Amino acid sequence: MSGKGTGKPDASGKQSPVKKKVKIRKDKKWVEVDVDGEVKKGRFKYVKFVDDDGLDTYWISPE
């Protein structure tokens, strides 16, 4: 999962915003991801993050 948004200063000295961490159920395991946002579609809610394959991904929210 993307490790962006740690809240630590980057190379330019600016502090990146702290991202919300959410645990999702993926490949039969709980995985913690840093989410970039949430989207409501139909009767489901999805959290957005960049997955290991580099694709913008919207995963069903456990909440």
Partner 1 sequence: MPFSTIQAHLAYGADWRDPVTNKYCTSDLSNCIVGAGRAIVTATSPGCESNGTCSAVSPYCNTEIAVYYDGTGVNKSGFNIRWWYHIGASFYKYPLFALSLDGGRVDTFLTHGTPASAYVLRLVDINTYLPLSSLWFPYIKQYQYGTEYLAVAEYTGGFRKVSLYHCVDINQWIIGVVGYLFTAESSPSAIIPLDYYNEYVKYQELRQAFAYSYSGLDQHGWNADDMIRVLRELFPNRAWAVFDDRQNILYLYNLSPDYVPDWLIDKLAPTAMKVLKAPADAAVAKAWLDLLNERNAQIPPQAELP
Cα separation of 36 and 13, whole Å? Answer: 21
Structure tokens at 21: 């961490």
Q: Residue 33 CB, nearest distance to partner 1 (Å)? A: 11
Query: Is residue 11 within the footprint of partner 1 (CB under 8 A)?
Result: no
Rounded CA separation 44/61 (Å): 8
Q: Of these, 51, 52, 62, 63, which contacts partner 1 (CB under 8 A)?
A: 51
CB of 62 to partner 1, least distance (A): 11
Please give the residue ranges that form the binding site for partner 1 (CB under 8 A).
Answer: 39, 41-44, 46, 51, 53, 55-60
